[in-house]
A and B are shown apart, each in its own frame.
Chain A
Amino acid sequence: MDSAAAGPASETSPPETSPPQTSPPQTSHPEPPPPETPRHPETQRPAETQRSTSAPPEPSEAPPLLKITGVSKTFPGTVALDHVDLEVAPGEIHALVGQNGSGKSTLIKVLAGYHHADPGARAWLNGEPVDLAAPANLSRHHRLRFVHQDLGLFLELGAVDNLALRSEFMVGPLRQIRWKAQAEATRELLARFGLDLDLHRPLAEATPVQRTVVAIAAALVGWQHQGQGQDAPGLLVLDEPTAVLPPHDVARLQELIKNIRDQGTGILYVSHRLDEVFALADRVTVLRGGRVVTTRAVEGLDVQALAELMVGADVDAGYRAVLKPDNERPVVLRARDLRGHFLQGVDIELREGEVLGVAGLPGSGRDELPYALAGSLAGAVGQIELVGQGWLPVRKSASFDIAIVPADRAREAVISEFSVAENLTISVLDRFRRFGWLRRRPERQLTAQWMDAISVKAAGSDALITTLSGGNQQKVMMARCLARDPRVLVLCEPTAGVDVGTRQAIYEFIADRARAGLSLVVSSSDTGDLLAICTRVLVMCNGRVVRELAGRKITEQALLHAMEETEQQV
């Protein structure tokens, strides 16, 4: 296809077109990325670039690449960021850690210009002031690049297109794309990252680590010329790049990131995995509740100390439902050897009135398990038994009395064109049937009952569901499932996007239901959820249950520890 597209025009073009943009003079270096000195960006001359040593630069020596002070971000009802200060030096890997809801992603979004900071925020990139309260402009983009957690790639397209779409296609005199040159440039660029990949195959077919590398390469497009002119190094923001990578790929990616760092690029590295912070970062900033707890060198810290910094003393004072684990009660649900994309053989036993938590990092199988139990995970295998109803293959468990509140409320739960009432009753419509007709009165009554029982704040049951706040929408979604009167309720991320007050109401509500005999499985990336309501927590890692905590043993520290693979390897 590319030969046809390039066609005769490309054969006439070579004399007058410039060489491929992605081949700077140093390409003969056998090492991956050509090195540059990070120390003195202003005075740096391109010709005499030296490989920097692996030692991190002293922050005092170079002006900070990025400096922000007093960054706040207020959403209606919540303060997501509260006067955050941060400095990243050139050639530094700066880790940004914190629990869910600590403000990490909000901070990244403010930097990226997706959110605008509250007035009063000040920021400098390479000493030049940046207005964080305004939309990101080109020069901000030029100095500050992002690899978001979902990578932002076009999976239907190959690496060539993905990289070219980030910068510009190389065109001949007739504005036709010079596919061969484009592919060559892409190959060269990716080779520097040690990536060997079929450039034209859709990225959907590539492995996760290959995609991550392509995303990083795409983010760095245009920075290869760094040091050749007046360009100073830029800042690369990596948001959980290793979240879904298997361990051996993580190591490879870390090497690559260090290489980029050694070129003088500053890296702001957001991660859940504390061991990575120690493997990679020079300094670390800990966020908690939208505030910076500390910024300090990683040296001298250990995992335990860092976890305590993240968690803080105040967090354990959160709501506790104090449900007692009771091993005498009958088993309601059993599952054997569940497998999926991430699940590698998980057994589950759930008792009546139990609230079973599922913890784990992204990619551990934690987010897959609930869907597998509810029979809505494509490709899941394994056996499941709802006691009294016999064993079934797990993909058929939708016929069991198991309701699920999905993780992504907007995409998988809320029917945004429907009213509150229609959303609430959608799974129990059969109850209002008489001679095939849907009777409105019992439907209205049931809706009113539930809206009252879980105190949904809405203009009325006929209001569109999208006019409700996130917390109230979540309550309606829970009511939708509970109205079915299921034997087992599976909750995914029960408090995602839910404000603090509603959060507690949801916890109390779940606890009430459990006391009434309902069995629940709660999967959450927010350890606060698990601490608040669970009687037992399964900690998952690499698709398996690696630890089971019960009763008083469920603590923030124990959960965080168990989620880190490091501990398991000891």
Chain B
Amino acid sequence: MTTQLPAERDVADPGPAPSVPARRVDWRSGLSVRNIGAVYVLVVICVVFSIWAPQTFPRVATIKQVLDNNAITGLAALALIVPLSTRTFDLSFAYVMSLSGVTAAHLIVADNTNIWLAMLAGIGIALVIGVINGFVVVVMRIDSFIGTLATGSLVQAFISFVTGDNTINNVKLAGSFSTLSQGVFGGVIYPVYYVLALAIVLWLFMEYTATGRRLYATGFNPDAARLANIKVRKLRFCSLLTSAAISGFAGVMLASSLSSGDPTAGTSYLLPAFATLFVGATVFKQGRFNAWGTIVAVLMLGTGTVGLGLVAAPLWAADMFTGVVLIAALSANVFQRSSPLRGQAGRARWLPFRYGSPGSGRAPR
């Protein structure tokens, strides 16, 4: 909404006095609830379940189960860090996961393609969708939330058209292809290591490269970024390519873990991925989408779900738990951060950025 309201700032008002201390000056602030609230929630969850189910919960097997169950969710969530940092939503990623999985499965079953080639093909077709997303969002300037929802819908239509909504099941998928994500090393399945590797790469990329810094700048204030000579549109386009490529990979892993090409397999990852990302943005790096925060959020929600399974809670308990924890994690953060942000009352507090029409430019005349 570009509502014209009376200017909120006063030119004569010299703003807040420079009295608030710097961030990260004190190791104690690094351990504050404000900074790592989700870590404390994770600890509390562990303690509660250890008391509740002392026979079954505090065991190595539980850790393995949490890691194994949530590796694909972790991949899906990490896929979105780059575009969301530029405040570009990619809602099509879940459908892209289905697409790349189905593509890889189809190639292996129908053409006896080598599994590595099949995987590359899956990522390749995901990249095609990434280019389409970039075209829709950046070139056609359609709001990313709606634009990628639309392309996602088209992707789902395409999958249904080609597969006839049938899951691709074949013994060929049970062999080396399924090993890609069902193989076990050191007690946990391979995708756990993929998540770890991807998190390290994304952490280094976002934190320690110029491009990462520019991506954050683009998300926080696109106008300022543009005027500081940052190629905002190029970055947003490329960010959609990254999310497409990573979700393509995640989709192939998902198909491998299911040993089948399910035309709707990815859809169930849509909401968990966004939920963990937004929780993750409150951890470690205040207000920035970041890899380790996302991992903590995935573990937090995953541990709770596994714990509820161990105490034989009813089925609805998992969803309720997720909802309660999300609200708790985000609200604790909102209370903590309200003070230094002056004059931003209109902003949705839980969003780590101002969501609106990107690059709205200067005031309308």
A376 touches B210 (CB 8 A): no
Task: State whether the Cβ of B24 lies closer than 8 Å to any Cβ in chain A.
Answer: yes
In contact, A376 and B20 (Cβ under 8 angstroms): no
A75 proximity list for chain B (CB < 8 A): 10, 12-14
- Whether the Cβ atoms of B11 and A78 lie closer than 8 Å is no
Of chain B, the residue at the smallest CB distance from A471 is B14
A225 within 8 A of B: no
Q: How far is the CB of A367 from chain B (nearest CB, A)?
A: 9
Given A155-B3, A415-B217, A463-B22, the answer on whether A426 and B15 have CB atoms closer than 8 Å is no
Stretch of A20-28, A306-314, A430-438, A505-513 contacting B (4+ beta carbons < 8 Å): A430-438
On whether the beta carbons of B10 and A106 are closer than 8 Å, the reply is yes
Does any Cβ of B come within 8 Å of A459's Cβ?
yes
- Given A204-B364, A466-B340, the answer on whether A114 and B6 have CB atoms closer than 8 Å is yes
Q: Which residues of B contact A114 (CB under 8 A)?
A: 6, 10
Report A-chain residues with C-beta under 8 Å of the C-beta of B6: 112, 114, 146, 148, 150, 152
Are the CB atoms of B208 and A437 closer together than 8 Å? yes
- Which residues 338-392 in A have Cβ within 8 Å of B in the complex? 341, 371, 374, 376, 378
A527–B11 Cα distance when bound, in Å, is: 16
Provide the residues of chain A in CB contact with B3, threshold 8 Å: 154-156
In contact, A469 and B16 (Cβ under 8 angstroms): yes
B223 touches A438 (CB 8 A): no
Within 8 Å of chain A (Cβ to Cβ): is B249?
no
Contact A470 to B229, CB < 8 A, known contacts A412-B223, A459-B22: no
Centre residue among B21, B25, B210 by max chain A CB count within 10 A: B210
Contacts of A438 in B (CB 8 A): 208-210, 212-213
Given contacts A414-B221, A429-B214, A438-B208, contact A76 B10 (CB under 8 A): no
A32 near B: Cβ within 8 Å? Answer: no
Q: Which of chain A's residues has its CB closest to B213's CB?
A: A429
For B3, B227, B342, the residue with the greatest tally of chain A CB atoms inside 10 Å of its CB is B227
CB distance from A281 to the nearest CB of B (A): 23
Q: How many whole Å from A117's CB to the nearest CB in chain B?
A: 13
Nearest chain B CB to A496 CB, angstrom units: 6
Q: Which of B1-59 contact A (CB under 8 A)?
A: 1-7, 9-25
Q: How far is the CA of A462 from the CA of B22 in the complex (A)?
A: 5
A81 vs B123: C-alpha distance when bound (angstroms): 64
CA distance A472 to B19 in the complex (A): 13
Does A95 interact with chain B (Cβ within 8 Å)? no
Task: Verify A459–B209 contact, CB threshold 8 A.
Answer: no
A463 B20 Cβ-Cβ under 8 A: yes
A321 at the interface (CB under 8 A from B): no
Q: Is B346 an interface residue (CB 8 A)?
A: no
B340 touches A464 (CB 8 A): yes
Q: What's the least CB distance linking B221 to chain A, in Å? A: 5
A398 interface contact, C-beta 8 A: yes
Contact B9 A410 (CB under 8 A): yes
A38 adjacent to chain B (CB < 8 Å): no
Chain B CB within 8 A of A445 CB: no
Most buried by B among A411, A416, A417, A497: A417
Number of interface residues of A (CB under 8 A): 79
Q: Is there an interface contact between B10 and A115, defined as CB atoms closer than 8 Å?
A: yes
B350 to chain A, nearest CB (A): 14
Whether A101 lies near B342 (C-beta < 8 A) is no
Residues of A within 8 A of B9 (CB): 410, 497
B349 CB-CB contact with A under 8 Å: no
Answer whether residue A427 sits at the interface, using C-beta atoms and an 8 A cutoff: yes
> A419-B23, A497-B11 given as contacts; is B214 within 8 A of A412 (CB)?
no
B5 partner residues in chain A, CB cutoff 8 A = 150, 152
In angstroms, Cα B216 to Cα A426, docked, is: 10
A411, B359: Cα distance in complex, Å? 11
Complex interface: chain A residues within 8 A of B314 (CB): none
Cα separation A457 to B16 with both chains bound (whole Å): 12
CB–CB B210/A429 < 8 A:
yes
Cα distance, A75 to B9, chains bound together (Å): 13
Check: B162 CB closer than 8 A to any chain A CB.
no
Assuming the contacts A75-B13, A427-B228, asked whether A415 and B221 have C-beta atoms less than 8 A apart, the reply is yes
A431-474 interface code vs B (CB 8 A; 1 in, 0 out): 01100111000000000000000000111111110111111110
A98 on the B face (CB < 8 A):
no
A555 close to chain B: CB less than 8 A:
no
Q: Out of A341, A462, A464, which one reaches B365, CB within 8 Å?
A: A341
A406 interface residue (CB < 8 Å to B):
yes
Interface size on B, residues (CB 8 A): 55
Does the CB pair B10–A109 fall under 8 Å?
A: yes
CA distance A225 to B40 in the complex (A): 62
A403 / chain B contacts, CB cutoff of 8 Å: 229
Known: A429-B210, A457-B18, A470-B15. A480 touches B4 (CB 8 A): no
Q: A386-430: which have CB < 8 Å to B?
A: 398, 403-404, 406, 408, 410-419, 422, 426-427, 429-430
Smallest Cβ-Cβ distance to B210: which chain A residue: A429
Interchain CB contact under 8 A, B214 and A426:
yes
Q: Could you say which of A78, A473, A480 contacts B228, with CB atoms under 8 Å apart?
A: A480
Q: Whole-angstrom distance between the alpha carbons of A427 and B1 in the complex?
A: 30
Instruction: Write the nearest CB–CB distance from A237 to chain B, whole angstroms.
Output: 12
* Distance between B134 CB and nearest chain A CB, rounded to angstroms: 20
> Who on chain A is nearest to B1 by CB?
A156
- Of the candidates A398, A417, A463, A469, the one whose C-beta lies within 8 Å of that of B229 is A398
**Known A414-B224, A466-B342; contact A76-B214, beta-carbon cutoff 8 A:** no
| Bound: A470/B227 CA distance, A | 19
Who on chain A is nearest to B343 by CB?
A: A410
B365, A244: Cβ atoms closer than 8 Å: yes
With a 10 A CB-CB cut-off, give which of A114, A378, A412, A436 has the most chain B CB atoms: A412
User: Please, which residues of chain B bring their CB within 8 A of the CB of A436?
Assistant: 209
| Contact of A208 with B by CB under 8 A | yes
Interface 0/1 of A477-507, CB less than 8 Å to B:
0001000100000000000111100000000
Closest to B361 in A: A378
A80: interface (CB < 8 Å): yes
Q: Tell me if A103 counts as interface (CB < 8 A to partner B).
A: yes
0/1 interface trace, chain A 229-270, chain B, CB 8 Å (1 if under) = 000000000000000100000000000000000000000000
Query: Is there an interface contact between B213 and A426, defined as CB atoms closer than 8 Å?
Result: yes
Contacts of B15 in A (CB 8 A): 468-470, 473, 497
Q: Contact between A413 and B13 (Cβ–Cβ < 8 Å)?
A: no
B226 vs chain A, min Cβ distance (A): 6
Q: Does A15 contact B (CB under 8 A)?
A: no
Does B4 lie within 8 Å of A155, measured CB to CB?
yes
A151 and B17 contact, CB distance less than 8 A: no
Do B208 and A464 have beta carbons less than 8 Å apart? no
Rounded to whole angstroms, the CA-CA distance of A62 and B210 in the bound complex is 68
Q: Tell whether A153 is near chain B: CB-to-CB under 8 Å.
A: yes
**Using Cβ atoms and an 8 Å threshold, which residues of chain A touch B229?**
398, 403, 427, 484
Complex Cα distance A105/B13, Å? Answer: 12
Most buried by A among B9, B18, B340: B18
A205 to B113, CA, bound (A): 57
* A463–B10 CB distance below 8 A: no
Also in contact, A469 and B14, with CB within 8 A (given A426-B230, A427-B228): yes
Contact with B along A105-138 (1 / 0, CB 8 A): 1100100101100000000000000000000000
Listed by A's residue number, 18 A-B pairs whose Cβ atoms lie within 8 Å are A105-B10, A105-B12, A154-B4, A155-B3, A341-B365, A398-B229, A404-B227, A412-B227, A417-B288, A418-B220, A422-B217, A460-B22, A462-B23, A463-B23, A464-B340, A466-B342, A472-B18, A498-B14
Q: Which 6 A-B pairs have the closest CB atoms?
A: A429-B210, A460-B22, A467-B20, A463-B22, A80-B12, A462-B22
- Partner-A contacts on B (CB < 8 A): 1-7, 9-25, 208-210, 212-214, 216-217, 220-221, 223-230, 287-288, 340-342, 344, 352-353, 361-365
Q: A411-B223, A463-B21 are in contact. List 4 more A-B contacts (CB 8 A).
A: A416-B220, A417-B220, A430-B210, A467-B18
Residues of A at the B interface (CB closer than 8 Å) are: 75-78, 80, 100-101, 103, 105-106, 109, 112, 114-115, 146, 148-156, 204, 208, 244, 341, 371, 374, 376, 378, 398, 403-404, 406, 408, 410-419, 422, 426-427, 429-430, 432-433, 436-438, 457-464, 466-473, 480, 484, 496-499
